[in-house]
């Protein structure tokens, strides 16, 4: 396996510049971009500052998150001098975001509150995080894996780590990877409600009382080394190993001991085959909140010591906290530091501060106020997020010694299922409903198929009132299905296995109901009146974050969002994680909720009128390495073989071409070593919309003889829940729990509005 992955292009826009060089030069000077905020109403707030880029005007008709991201991507692609059209199927796009289309969300609900008729379906399509990577893919014609990473403030770092994994596993040659988040009333009001904003420019690790909210986008061209060499590309540096962990502690606050942060840092170092003493520079998360800073500093001192060998700065002191873009903005800073042999500073330190810091952290070097020339061979960049998600990555000078952790080719099995669906809330109940031909639960007012989770479910999985009351429906369903899957797999989480159990969650629309509730609240009462209670639920990774807390799992934790196919995408992604990380079990989840709000949004886009019947639910597949499953004698529902992904760059909201669904299927079969005629059952994905039905019919002509099963006929279009349910249903057929013989091999396919197609192959275990 060729494990060398390099960076060949940079694009950046943030409060201190419109391109990568300008931002880095300003950072070296200690330029602080934190000023009075112009794009959010804040007159009644206790603070009025943030870090915006006021030069960048969102083009008419576009969403700011996408347009910032496209701008950064244009710079990166041009810098890298890559011709994407030469081999578009090998070019992927992975973008991290926290609030996604929050500016469009505000516009939509302002219109809606004034007059529900006036609010436009076009704005609905700009709201989800899903739209961003699709818009970047559309701009450049990329046709490889397209996905968004929705782990709030850790998303930017994760997206680059995932890009490197995609290249190492042979799924792509080039990935446009990074993150994007705009300044928004949603984030400003939310952090204001949590009293997490500082009323002065933040001075992380020092006197800071909170964050300065920022905005921006960073995109890096991440490329296979051989590919970059072959085209004579300029190579900035290499991407080495990464580490992802979960605190399993609190939805907004880090664990005070910084245990999870430390685990992520140690993992990125170990996975790179280097030692902590090799690291020359750390770009810390350093948000400026007292809680983050104290736990992070403690973790860094434990990993790196306080002798001052390593330099550490937090560029958030100048750029602000760009949330889901933070890791990507900071990645550009790290790459520039390696290129130029100079590290950016932490701004806002007086001489007294430096002396005071010495009391706290010995000779630990915070690079006060001005950039510092030094050896910069290995750099670590760290980000931590709501949900207790921690991410760390190592960048290194080209050719720097390393020994990356090796991937395994172990078989992967589905050993547990947790199904929350309109047909029942356990795998057993679902199978029984299917076997008896029971009718799914329909919501009386809207006619959608809906799942119902209540007190009985919470009691059964041991969730107490003071926990589950905080959760939105998406989180409640996710927690119940995740805990049910662990129980179904016979896994008891304890100190010995907690760090080896992770989560990969997929969602199409995330927590749109509480996002709407939160946004409507601030439209009614002002930015200063945001609900501290609701805000944590507005991030897409809240649901798997709550699950990690209630289940106590501390391994990998990533949330991906790219439309309805996100459930299958999560399963495919999870198999890759199991082969490349320390995790033995990954809970691969597909979850989406229905509600009055969600129904209204789908009415606005015209989908409901065109024949789409919505559904919802959360489906968890416990995927496990063969060695772990065999060691504990686990029941194997099915073996997961290969998966395929293809993307047809179309306007977000539309389905792509049949060719690309065929391509995703071809890739999945090839990877599985299975021929089309071997497939005995196909789990299809039509949802009542004519456009998708036509595509699917054309793409499945090779499978005329195979049995066809569509879970949406009984349970509606539950988006990510449906695509994960298709896999779960297939597994239950293969295991004999559903009385409908699937044969030996099952192909499951799924489509996302936006042009992405996923396919995965399961085999009888």
Partner 1 sequence: MDERQKTVADKIADYLANNLRLPRENIDYDIPLFGDGIGLDSVDSLEIIAGMDQLFGVTLMGVNDGVFANIRTLSGYIVDHPDFKEQDK
* Binding segment toward partner 1, per CB under 8 A, in 58-66, 96-104, 372-380, 523-531: 523-531
Q: Which residue has the tokens 């927590």?
A: 511
CA 142 to each of CA 89, 94, 206: distance values in angstroms, whole numbers, following the listed order: 7, 11, 43
Binding of residue 138 to partner 1 (CB under 8 A): no
Site residues for partner 1, 655-684, by CB under 8 A, read none
Binding of residue 466 to partner 1 (CB under 8 A): yes
**Of residues 255, 285, 599, 729, which has the active-site annotation?**
285
Cα–Cα distance between 88 and 172 in angstroms, integer? Answer: 10
Q: Quick one: which H or E segment has residue 732?
A: helix 720-735
Q: Quick one: which H or E segment has residue 111?
A: helix 102-114
Beta-ladder partners of 759: 644, 749
**Of residues 45, 153, 237, 312, which has the active-site annotation?**
153
Binding of residue 195 to partner 1 (CB under 8 A): yes
Q: Is 250 a catalytic residue?
A: no
Instruction: Select 209 or 358, whichever has its Cβ closest to partner 1.
Output: 209
Binding of residue 252 to partner 1 (CB under 8 A): yes
Q: Is 69 a catalytic residue?
A: no
Binding of residue 113 to partner 1 (CB under 8 A): no
* Binding segment toward partner 1, per CB under 8 A, in 191-199, 255-263, 270-278, 679-687: 191-199
Using CB under 8 A, pick the residue from 407, 493, 523, 532 that binds partner 1: 532
Binding of residue 392 to partner 1 (CB under 8 A): no
Instruction: Give the single-character DSSP code of 87.
Output: S
* Residue of 522, 532, 543, 513 whose CA lies nearest to 618: 543
Using CB under 8 A, pick the residue from 169, 294, 408, 529 that binds partner 1: 529
Binding of residue 194 to partner 1 (CB under 8 A): yes
Using CB under 8 A, pick the residue from 57, 355, 456, 465 that binds partner 1: 465
Query: Would you say 288 and 323 are in contact if contact means Cβ atoms under 8 Å apart?
Result: no
Using CB under 8 A, pick the residue from 403, 439, 469, 690 that binds partner 1: 469
Cα–Cα distance between 696 and 31 in angstroms, integer? Answer: 54
Structure tokens at 415: 């050993």
**Of residues 321, 441, 599, 647, which has the active-site annotation?**
321
Cβ atoms within 10 Å, residue 673: 10
CB of 269 to partner 1, least distance (A): 33
Query: Would you say 570 and 540 are in contact if contact means Cβ atoms under 8 Å apart?
Result: no
Cα–Cα distance between 517 and 635 in angstroms, integer? Answer: 42
Instruction: Select 413 or 518, whichever has its Cβ closest to partner 1.
Output: 518
Cα–Cα distance between 738 and 731 in angstroms, integer? Answer: 9
* Binding segment toward partner 1, per CB under 8 A, in 188-196, 343-351, 355-363, 544-552: 188-196
Binding of residue 520 to partner 1 (CB under 8 A): no
Instruction: Give the single-character DSSP code of 387.
Output: G
Query: Would you say 105 and 76 are in contact if contact means Cβ atoms under 8 Å apart?
Result: no
Would the CA dihedral through 208, 393, 380, 181 be positive or negative? negative
Instruction: Select 194 or 452, whichever has its Cβ closest to partner 1.
Output: 194
* Binding segment toward partner 1, per CB under 8 A, in 273-281, 309-317, 531-539, 623-631: 531-539
CB of 45 to partner 1, least distance (A): 12
* Residue of 501, 667, 500 whose CA lies nearest to 587: 501
CB of 535 to partner 1, least distance (A): 8
Q: Is 249 a catalytic residue?
A: no
Binding of residue 1 to partner 1 (CB under 8 A): no
Cα–Cα distance between 702 and 699 in angstroms, integer? Answer: 8
Contacts of 232 (CB under 8 A, 6+ apart): none
Binding of residue 704 to partner 1 (CB under 8 A): no
Binding of residue 654 to partner 1 (CB under 8 A): no
Q: Please list the active-site residues.
A: 153, 285, 321
| Binding positions for partner 1, rule: CB under 8 A | 193-195, 251-253, 464-466, 469-470, 525, 529, 531-533, 536
């Amino acid at each position: 396996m060729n494990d060398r992955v390099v960076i060949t292009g940079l694009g950046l826009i943030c409060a201190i510049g419109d391109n990568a060089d300008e931002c880095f030069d300003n950072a070296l000077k200690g330029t602080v971009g934190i000023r009075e905020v112009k794009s959010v109403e804040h007159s009644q707030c206790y603070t009025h500052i943030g870090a915006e880029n006021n030069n960048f005007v969102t083009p008419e008709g576009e969403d700011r998150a996408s347009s910032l991201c496209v701008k950064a991507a244009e710079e990166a692609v041009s810098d890298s001098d890559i011709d994407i059209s030469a081999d578009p199927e090998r070019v992927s796009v992975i973008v991290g975001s926290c609030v996604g289309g929050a500016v469009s969300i505000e516009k939509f609900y302002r219109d809606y509150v004034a007059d529900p008729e006036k609010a436009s379906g076009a704005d609905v399509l700009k709201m989800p995080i899903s739209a961003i990577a699709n818009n970047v893919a559309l701009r450049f014609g990329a046709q490889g894996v397209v996905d968004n990473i929705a782990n709030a403030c850790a998303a930017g770092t994760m997206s680059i780590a995932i890009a490197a994994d995609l290249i190492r596993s042979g799924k792509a040659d080039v990935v446009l990877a990074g993150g994007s988040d705009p300044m928004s009333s949603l984030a400003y009001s939310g952090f204001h409600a949590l009293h997490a904003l500082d009323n002065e420019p933040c001075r992380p690790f020092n006197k800071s009382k909170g964050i300065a909210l920022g905005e921006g986008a960073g995109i890096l061209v991440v490329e296979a080394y051989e590919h970059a060499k072959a085209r004579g590309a300029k190579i900035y540096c290499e991407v080495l190993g990464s580490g992802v962990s979960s605190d399993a502690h609190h939805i907004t606050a880090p664990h005070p001991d910084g245990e999870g942060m430390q685990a992520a840092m140690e993992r990125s170092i170990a996975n790179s085959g280097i030692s902590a003493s090799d690291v020359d520079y750390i770009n810390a998360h350093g948000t400026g909140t007292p809680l983050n800073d104290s736990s992070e500093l403690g973790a860094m001192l434990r990993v790196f010591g306080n002798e001052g060998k390593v330099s550490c700065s937090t560029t958030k002191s100048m750029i602000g906290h760009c949330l889901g873009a933070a890791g990507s903005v900071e990645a550009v800073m790290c790459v520039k530091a390696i290129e130029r042999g100079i590290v950016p500073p932490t701004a806002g330190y007086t001489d007294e501060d430096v002396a005071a810091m010495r009391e706290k952290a010995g000779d630990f070097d915070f690079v006060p106020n001005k950039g510092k020339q030094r050896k910069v061979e290995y750099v670590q960049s760290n980000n931590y997020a709501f949900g207790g998600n921690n991410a760390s990555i190592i960048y290194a000078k080209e050719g720097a010694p390393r020994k990356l952790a090796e991937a395994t080719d172990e078989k992967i099995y589905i050993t547990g299922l947790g199904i929350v669906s309109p047909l029942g809330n356990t795998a057993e109940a679902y199978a029984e409903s299917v076997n008896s031909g029971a009718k799914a639960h329909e919501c009386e007012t809207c006619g959608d198929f809906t799942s119902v989770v209540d007190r009985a479910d919470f009691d059964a999985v041991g969730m107490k009132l003071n926990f589950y009351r905080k959760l939105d429906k998406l989180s409640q369903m996710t927690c119940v299905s995740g805990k049910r899957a662990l129980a179904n797999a016979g896994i008891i989480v304890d100190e010995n296995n907690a760090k080896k159990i992770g989560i990969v969650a997929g969602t199409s629309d995330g927590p749109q109901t509480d996002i709407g509730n939160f946004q409507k609240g601030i439209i009614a009462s002002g930015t200063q009146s945001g609900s501290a209670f609701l805000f944590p639920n507005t991030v897409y990774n809240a649901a798997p974050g709550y699950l990690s807390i209630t289940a106590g799992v501390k391994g990998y934790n990533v949330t991906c969002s790219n439309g309805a196919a996100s459930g299958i995408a999560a399963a495919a992604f999870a198999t890759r994680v199991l082969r490349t990380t320390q995790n033995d079990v990954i809970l691969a989840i597909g979850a989406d909720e229905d509600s009055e709000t969600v129904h209204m949004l789908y009415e606005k886009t015209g989908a409901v009128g065109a024949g789409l019947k919505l559904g919802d639910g959360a489906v968890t597949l416990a995927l496990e390495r063969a060695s772990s499953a065999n060691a504990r004698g686990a029941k194997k529902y099915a073996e997961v073989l290969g998966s395929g992904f293809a993307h047809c760059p179309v306007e977000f909201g539309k389905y792509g071409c049949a060719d690309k669904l065929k391509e995703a299927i071809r890739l999945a079969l090839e990877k599985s070593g299975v021929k089309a005629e071997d497939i005995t059952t196909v789990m299809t994905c039509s949802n009542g919309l004519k456009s998708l039905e036509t595509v699917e019919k054309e793409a499945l002509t090779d499978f005329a003889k195979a049995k066809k099963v569509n879970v949406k006929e009984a349970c509606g279009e539950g988006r990510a829940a449906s695509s994960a349910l298709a896999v779960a249903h297939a597994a239950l057929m293969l295991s004999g729990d559903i009385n409908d013989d699937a044969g030996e091999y099952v192909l499951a396919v799924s489509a996302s509005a936006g042009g992405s197609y996923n396919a995965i192959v399961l085999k009888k275990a």
